[in-house]
């Protein structure tokens, strides 16, 4: 891989990476819960990775001051990015917030802050597991 500075990436690129990173944590969690059938995996994964769920998680993080100041910068970069894709199952505002959520994961992953990625993922999985979204 060529050298690049993840801090210079646009919000959509950060969200692209973050989406994949968060999804792996969710998939690992679901498998660890003994869920193995494809239909059940997909149905359960949506609870964690939908735009609605991610917007809820950002709301909870804001209430608890969970994100660092730097993460807030990258959340806003993702949220405010102009995407060519459109929301399929949600409104535009929720979709943009979820893009910001994913950008936080992408930023931390691409800057080598794996420990923080684990903390974020565990927080999110715990919060969603407590809810019936």
Percent of the chain with pLDDT over 70: 95
Structural domain that includes position 90: 9-130
Q: Is residue 1 part of a domain?
A: no
Contact 51, 87 (CB under 8 A): yes
Q: Is residue 101 part of a domain?
A: yes
Residue 5 annotated to the active site: no
pLDDT at 60 > cutoff 50: yes
> Tens of pLDDT along 95-123?
999 999 999 999 999 999 999 999 999 99
**11 vs 103: CA distance, rounded Å:** 6
CA atoms within 13 Å, Cβ hemisphere of 2: 1
CATH of the domain at 108: 1.10.1520.10
Give the active site residue among 19, 28, 65, 91. 19
> Tens of pLDDT along 75-87?
999 999 877 776 7
C-alpha separations of 85 from 14, 91, 96 in Å:
15, 13, 11
Tell me how many domains the chain contains: 1
Q: Is residue 84 part of a domain?
A: yes
Rg (CA), the chain: 14
Q: Is residue 126 part of a domain?
A: yes
Interval 54-79 mean pLDDT: 97
Interval 41-47 mean pLDDT: 94
Q: Is residue 4 part of a domain?
A: no
């Amino acid at each position: 891989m060529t050298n690049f500075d993840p801090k210079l990436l646009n919000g959509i690129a950060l969200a692209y990476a973050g989406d994949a990173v968060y999804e792996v944590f969710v998939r690992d969690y679901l498998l660890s819960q003994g869920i193995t059938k494809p239909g059940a995996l997909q149905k359960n994964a949506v609870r964690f990775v939908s735009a609605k769920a991610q917007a809820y998680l950002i709301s909870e993080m804001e209430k608890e001051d969970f994100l660092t100041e730097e993460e807030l910068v990258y959340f806003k970069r993702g949220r405010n990015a102009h995407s060519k894709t459109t929301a399929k199952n949600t409104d535009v505002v929720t979709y943009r917030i979820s893009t910001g959520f994913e950008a936080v994961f992408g930023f931390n992953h691409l800057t080598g802050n794996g420990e923080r990625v684990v903390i974020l993922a565990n927080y999110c999985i715990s919060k969603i597991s407590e809810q019936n979204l």
